[in-house]
Amino acid sequence: MRIVGIIQARMGSTRLPGKVLRDLGGRSVLGWVVRAVRQARAVDELVVATTTQAVDDAVAAECLALGVACHRGPVDDVLTRFMQVVVRWPGDAVMRFTADCPLLDPAVIREAAQVYRAVPGLDYVSTGLAGTLPRGLDVEIVGLPALRRADREAAAHHRAHVTSYVYSHPGDARLLGLAYPPGAADLRVTLDTEDDWRLISRVVGELGDGCVPARALVDWLRARPEVRRLNAHVEQKELQEA
């Protein structure tokens, strides 16, 4: 079972342009994501999927500095970008990451891959289905047949979100959700606004340049309401807004 890890990254975020290359504790936000995936030792190949726009030359340059493979494809049709990656780097499944989640837990990444490999016939595994982790720590894996079906059938915002068609139109697909109780879905550690940046910078400033286990991060945030309040008001963009 060969799993290809794909990190989608681009400079042109509508809410926070350039966020993926911001310096966070001495390394880029993208660098944090690459490190977490590498520490998990869960994927057989790791590729950053960015766009062909000139502004994303900087992302390609950072990939070179990080020693990670880079593919450049369409700006808004991210699903096509992913399908192009699996043509160049074949696999049986894709583990999808976004470059605005620097606090990923390698243990969660590894566990998702272990479950996917251990249960025959799965088409999709995600921590997001159960909704127990903070936003920004979720992990998902989609089998190549399910991803190909999405590529054939999906339109509009589903092409920007890559996997949303798979779990919203499962058909005969077998989906599995991973839960990490107690629930912490009210917490937010993804990077989409300046207030998100304030919270994440605070975490890194106090906990240092290293991957923090999900439970330890949740406990740390629970004990610090003043930190949680930094981005508690931020609303996640709806799928159709992508």
The whole domain housing 164 covers: 3-183
Question: Do the domain assignments include residue 221?
Answer: no
Residue 236: predicted pLDDT: 74
Question: Do the domain assignments include residue 123?
Answer: yes
pLDDT beyond 60 at 59: yes
Residue 92: predicted pLDDT: 98
Q: Which residues contact 217 (CB under 8 A, 6 or more apart)?
A: 103, 105, 134, 137, 189, 203, 207
Across 1-29, average pLDDT:
96
pLDDT beyond 70 at 180: yes
Q: Which two tokens stand for residue 219?
A: 């406990």
Distance, in Å, from the CA atom of 6 to the CA atom of 33, rounded to the nearest integer, reads 11
Percent of the chain with pLDDT over 90: 94
Query: Residue type at 187?
Result: L
Closest CA to 119 of 174, 172, 170: 174
Q: Which two tokens stand for residue 208?
A: 């240092």
Structural domains in the chain (count):
1
pLDDT beyond 70 at 155: yes
Question: Mean pLDDT of all residues in the chain?
Answer: 95
Q: What is the CATH number of the domain that holds 65?
A: 3.90.550.10
pLDDT beyond 60 at 214: yes
pLDDT beyond 80 at 240: no
Percent of the chain with pLDDT over 70: 98
Question: Do the domain assignments include residue 222?
Answer: no
Closest CA to 7 of 83, 77, 70: 70
Question: Do the domain assignments include residue 147?
Answer: yes
Name which of 33-42, 43-52, 109-118, 153-162 the model is least confident about: 153-162
Across 162-183, average pLDDT:
95
Question: Do the domain assignments include residue 218?
Answer: no
Q: Which two tokens stand for residue 237?
A: 């963009």
Across 163-184, average pLDDT:
95
Across 125-144, average pLDDT:
97
Residue 228: predicted pLDDT: 97
Question: Do the domain assignments include residue 122?
Answer: yes
Distance, in Å, from the CA atom of 9 to the CA atom of 21, rounded to the nearest integer, reads 9
Question: Do the domain assignments include residue 219?
Answer: no
Question: Do the domain assignments include residue 126?
Answer: yes
